[in-house]
Amino acid sequence: MHAQYMRRALELAEWGRGNVSPNPMVGCVIVHDGVIIGEGFHKVYGGPHAEVNAVNSVKNPELLPESTVYVTLEPCAHFGKTPPCANLLVEKSVKKVVIAAFDSNPLVGGKGIQILKDAGIEVETGILEQEARSQNRRFFTQIEKKRPYVILKWAQTLDGFVARKDYSSKWISNSLSRQQVHKWRAEEDAILVGRNTAQYDDPSLNVRDWVGKNPLRLVIDRQLQLSHELKLFDHGIPTICYNLKKSETNGNLEWKKLSPKFEIQEILDDLQERKIQSLIVEGGSFLLNKFIESELWDEARVFTSQVKFLEGINAPQISHPSSERVYFLEDELAIYYHV
């Protein structure tokens, strides 16, 4: 039965996707005598945590001392934007707490569990742990690897090209695939493209075919050659331009000067300092290959259409097999995980 209730908690946690970063997604279910009497999830960064929302949803609080709390991540033990959730559960004298995943954040890291145990509350851990860690892989990557979770995304033709030789590509993937990309954008913190993609595609890099927040826009322009007439510089969304020339701010546009080495790791270090939890890289081929060669990526999402170019700019190559393949009409989406 533990797994059944934890799966429900994981379902609830998913509702926070795209809205709680840099916090993790967390779901909570409260059960009394086999009946769910409370549910909650972390809805928005800075707002109440899952345990608070779940406790507040219980119509008869007198049942809490005889109830079991299922939570997808170890309850927090520190004062941040909100008070510690471990203390709340102690205050409510819950009978037992079942936890999916240990929180590797040094501010929590076992302290939440210890608070519960010290108060005489029974604690069980590791229920659907892998599912919980996978759901929050962005959070765990940032905590454990000290960098954002990196997703590479591109669309390629059936014969393996991402653009024509003149960098034009029209649309390679279909409208349903493109809508899926906009959903992804709404779920991630930042989006990055290289100079050629910015210059030839003139992308907006916003969320249009889905409902959700726009990611922070990032572009690499080492010598500051891009026209300020491009959509990336329209002041519509906060945007950072990584370059070798200057550090400057103009409204919500920022130019960030990097060292002459200009390594991918340097960009990721800067994003880590900004508490950017996830990054989606949408091209071009040169930039995508840099991430692959540096082994600084976690996931790749590759659309393959039925279109053929016969010649053009080669698509990046990933050496190991895909973990999943799904179809968006005639487009095939292959998903790879870098493990």
Nearest to residue 304, comparing CAs of 192, 161, 181? 161
| 208 assigned ligand-binding residue | yes
129 is catalytic: no
- Residue 217 annotated as lining a ligand binding site: no
Determine if residue 282 is labeled as part of a ligand binding site: yes
85 is in an annotated binding site: yes
Which one of the listed residues 11, 14, 51, 330 is annotated catalytic?
A: 51
184 is in an annotated binding site: no
The 10 Å Cβ neighbour count of residue 80 is 12
Strands 299-304 and 149-156: what pairing? parallel
Side chain identity, residue 294: S
Has 325 been labeled as part of a binding site?
Answer: no
49 annotated among ligand-binding-site residues: yes
Residue burial 121-140, b: 16+ Cβ < 10 Å; e: rest: bebeeebbeebbbebbbbbb
CA distances to 58, 157, 290, 303 from 311, in Å: 62, 10, 22, 18
Catalytic annotation, residues: 51
Which residues does the annotation place in the binding site for substrate?
185, 205, 208, 282
Which residues does the annotation place in the binding site for Zn(2+)?
49, 76, 85
Which residues does the annotation place in the binding site for NADP(+)?
155, 169, 171, 197, 201
Which residues does the annotation place in the binding site?
49, 76, 85, 155, 169, 171, 185, 197, 201, 205, 208, 282
